[in-house]
Amino acid sequence: MSHLGILVAAEFYADFVLVNGGDDYISKVYDYAIAMVGTYSLTSFGINKAREDISGPAYATLEWEGTTLENLFTTTFRLRLYVGNDGYYSLANY
């Protein structure tokens, strides 16, 4: 799964299972890539919630601190995969 922003792009791979009528789950995340104008430092990458339940979907997150060219600002970037309700989607904050 991947997401492209104006000055940032990120992706990672995930193995997950959609269980028809049951709890979908994420079994593995791997091979992330981050590209941005500036520098970055990885802060977290992994499965946050492996299995969907009544409280919500399973999800995994790629998160990093990024600094723009000339150190104008530093911020936290996040790409998240959600798996639940026999489907999946991603959200990014960039």
pLDDT beneath 50, residues of the chain = none
**Global pTM value:** 0.91
Spatial strand order of the sheet with 87-92 comes to 39-49, 58-67, 74-84, 87-92
6: left (phi over 0), alpha (psi -120 to 50) or beta: alpha
pLDDT at position 71: 81
pLDDT at position 4: 64
88: left (phi over 0), alpha (psi -120 to 50) or beta: beta
What stretch of H or E contains 4?
strand 2-4
pLDDT tens per residue, range 70-82:
788 899 999 999 9
pLDDT at position 49: 99
pLDDT at position 73: 84
Please tell me the distance from the alpha carbon of residue 5 to that of residue 19, in angstroms, as a whole number. 32
